[in-house]
Amino acid sequence: MYYSRKRTLNDIPEELTAIWSCTNESCNGWMRDNFVFLVQPTCSMCHSPMEKGEKLLPAVANTSPIQSKQ
Ligand SMILES: [Zn+2]
């Protein structure tokens, strides 16, 4: 896991978050890795395969009991 030390002007810390993004270029679907429980999820919007990536998102408390296996 990587965390950004930068803080935004409105004081919401952001962190580089593991996400899955849709491989369909005409679709902007994505989801947080924390909420994915499948090895290879499919997009909930267009059912295309998804690929793992990272996105800078406002930090939220991770209440998932499942830890990232990185
Ligand atoms: Zn999609």
Residue 49 C-alpha to ligand 1 middle, in angstroms?
8
Q: Could you tell me if residue 67 is inside a domain?
A: no
pLDDT, tens digit, 9 for 90 and up, residues 29-56: 999 998 777 778 999 999 999 999 999 9
Residue 18 C-alpha to ligand 1 middle, in angstroms?
17
Residue 38 C-alpha to ligand 1 middle, in angstroms?
16
- The count of other CB atoms within 10 Å of the CB of residue 36 is 17
* pLDDT band (50, 70, 90) for residue 6: low
Range of the domain at 31: 14-58
Q: Could you tell me if residue 64 is inside a domain?
A: no
Residue 25 C-alpha to ligand 1 middle, in angstroms?
8
* Cα 9 to Cα 70: distance, rounded to the nearest angstrom: 31
Amino acid at 41: P
pLDDT of residue 60: 73
Which residues does 61 contact at the CB level (< 8 Å), separation at least 6? Answer: none
Q: How many domains does the chain have?
A: 1
Q: Could you tell me if residue 9 is inside a domain?
A: no
Residue 52 C-alpha to ligand 1 middle, in angstroms?
13
* Cα 42 to Cα 24: distance, rounded to the nearest angstrom: 11
Q: Residue 64: pLDDT above 90? A: no
Tokens of 2: 């990587």
Q: Could you tell me if residue 52 is inside a domain?
A: yes
